[in-house]
């Protein structure tokens, strides 16, 4: 991190220095840390800086306190994309070294549209990111014009990061045979979500798990897990059934390294009593 901070000192600040209240280094560190913490617009970055200012002061001065979201937006708009790319490259170098291995166990790849960055008739940017689930760190990003381009962006993103020995999770958009093959070639494992975009395989597995007696066998064998969480006035119950019995799967040969299939069952139970519900309505 110290090397990265020293590198920031050499970035030219083109602002009128007598009017500057927040150093360029301070703002760059805030944007870097906030982005790694999954902030996706200027307001969220400013909130992050205000909430974690004591932690940020371990690395930057924040002489005049945390900057506003308008200041962050204005200053970042003055920095060339090439400088930002170099900054991100420096961070990536750190993650690819031995100490970075501590941050990467389960790697989640997901795409999201960046809110509040749309200009006039332009489309809002869509970013495909790779995250360390345990540490909450961003390991790599790839900008695309729209969500449908995630399929081509994911392999490019996988080429930029070290995934050997890790588990890569991707939603249904990235459930493609070429992506599975790319992950296995880089000596990692994958957990891919299966939906109707892979219609034949989806229906085949869905029918397989529809046998209640078979589900009881899975429970007996210990390949069943159940979780229960309470949030927003309801209880969410999830059940997972896993089996390695996939010899029957017609498309098995198309998915390099496929070892097992899993079904998730999800139920919601309303937990509010009538009087609690009435009290919440009165508060609103």
- Select from 60, 95, 130 the last residue of a domain: 95
Whole-Å CA distances, 282 to 272, 274, 278, 279: 15, 13, 6, 5
Q: Rounded distance, CA 11 to CA 43, Å?
A: 24
Closest CA to 156 of 113, 186, 135, 197: 186
Q: How far apart are the first and last CA of the chain?
A: 46
pLDDT at 284: 37
Q: Is the pTM of this model over 0.75?
A: no
What is the residue range of 246's domain?
196-284
pLDDT of residue 244: 92
12: phi > 0 → left, psi -120 to 50 → alpha, else beta; which? beta
Q: How far apart are CA 8 and CA 6, in angstroms?
A: 5
172 and 223 part of one domain: no
Q: Do 212 and 171 share a domain, yes or no?
A: no
Residues 111/170, Cβ–Cβ less than 8 Å: no
Q: In Å, what is the CA distance from 183 to each residue of 92, 127, 135, 154, 202?
A: 19, 20, 21, 10, 21
Q: Which pLDDT value is given to residue 49?
A: 93
Q: Which residues contact 103 (CB under 8 A, 6 or more apart)?
A: 95, 132, 134, 135, 137, 139
Q: What are phi and psi of 9, to 5 degrees?
A: -60, -25
Task: Provide the pLDDT for residue 267.
Answer: 85
Same domain, 221 and 135: no
For residues 15 and 77, membership in a common domain is answered with: yes
As a whole number of angstroms, the distance between CA 165 and CA 269 comes to: 38
Angle between helices 24-36 and 42-51 (to 10 degrees): 100
Structure tokens at 31: 């944007």
Quick one: pLDDT at residue 148? 58
Nearest Cα residue to 68 out of 21, 115, 4: 21
**What is the pLDDT, as a whole number, of residue 80?**
75
Shared-domain flag, residues 64 and 120: no
Residue 172 sits in a domain whose CATH number is 3.30.420.10
Structural domains of the chain, count: 3
Q: Which long-range contacts (CB under 8 A, 24 or more apart) does 10-19 make?
A: 11/79, 11/83, 14/78, 15/75, 15/78
Residues 16 and 43 in one domain: yes
Task: For residues 158 and 201, state if they share a domain.
Answer: no
**Where among 61, 95, 129 does a domain terminate?**
95
Residues 85 and 157 in one domain: no
Q: Are residues 133 and 210 in the same domain?
A: no
Q: What is the pLDDT along the chain (284 residues), one digit of tens a residue?
A: 677 777 787 787 888 888 889 988 899 889 888 877 777 788 999 999 999 999 999 889 899 999 999 999 888 888 776 777 677 667 766 665 655 555 547 888 988 766 544 555 556 667 888 877 665 667 777 777 665 577 888 998 898 887 888 889 999 888 999 999 999 999 899 999 998 888 899 999 999 999 989 899 999 988 999 888 876 677 888 999 999 999 999 889 999 999 999 999 888 877 555 555 445 445 43
* 128 and 178 belong to one structural domain: yes
- Helices assigned H by DSSP within the chain: 2-8, 24-36, 42-51, 53-56, 69-78, 81-95, 150-160, 177-185, 199-208, 212-220, 274-283
Residue 147 DSSP code: G
205 shares its domain with 187: no
pLDDT confidence of residue 149: 72
Q: How far apart are CA 36 and CA 138, in angstroms?
A: 5
Of 193, 228, 263, at which residue does a domain stop? 193
């Amino acid at each position: 991190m110290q090397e990265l901070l020293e590198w920031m000192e050499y970035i030219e600040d083109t602002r009128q220095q007598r009017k500057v209240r927040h150093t360029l280094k301070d703002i760059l560190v805030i944007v870097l840390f906030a982005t790694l913490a999954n902030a996706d617009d200027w307001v969220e970055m400013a909130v992050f800086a205000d909430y974690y200012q004591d932690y940020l002061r371990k690395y930057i001065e924040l002489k005049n306190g945390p900057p506003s979201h308008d200041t962050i937006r204005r200053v970042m708009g003055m920095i060339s994309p090439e400088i930002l790319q170099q900054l991100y490259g420096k961070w990536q170098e750190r993650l690819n070294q031995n100490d970075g291995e501590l941050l990467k166990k389960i790697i989640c790849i997901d795409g999201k549209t960046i809110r509040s960055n749309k200009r006039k008739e332009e489309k809002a940017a869509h970013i495909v990111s790779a995250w360390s689930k345990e540490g909450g760190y961003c390991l790599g990003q790839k900008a695309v014009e729209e969500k449908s381009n995630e399929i081509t962006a994911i392999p490019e993103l996988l080429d930029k990061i070290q995934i050997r020995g890790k588990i890569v999770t991707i939603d249904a958009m990235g459930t493609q045979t070429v992506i599975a093959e790319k992950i296995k070639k880089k000596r990692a494992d994958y957990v891919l979500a299966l939906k109707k975009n892979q219609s034949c395989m989806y229906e085949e597995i869905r029918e397989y798990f529809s046998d209640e007696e078979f589900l009881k066998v899975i429970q007996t064998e210990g390949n069943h897990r159940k979780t229960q969480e309470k949030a927003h006035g309801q209880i969410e119950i999830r059940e997972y059934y896993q089996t390695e019995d996939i010899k029957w799967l017609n498309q098995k040969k198309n998915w390099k390294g496929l070892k097992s299939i899993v079904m998730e069952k999800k139920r919601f139970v309303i937990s509010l009593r009538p009087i609690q519900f009435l009290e919440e309505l009165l508060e609103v």
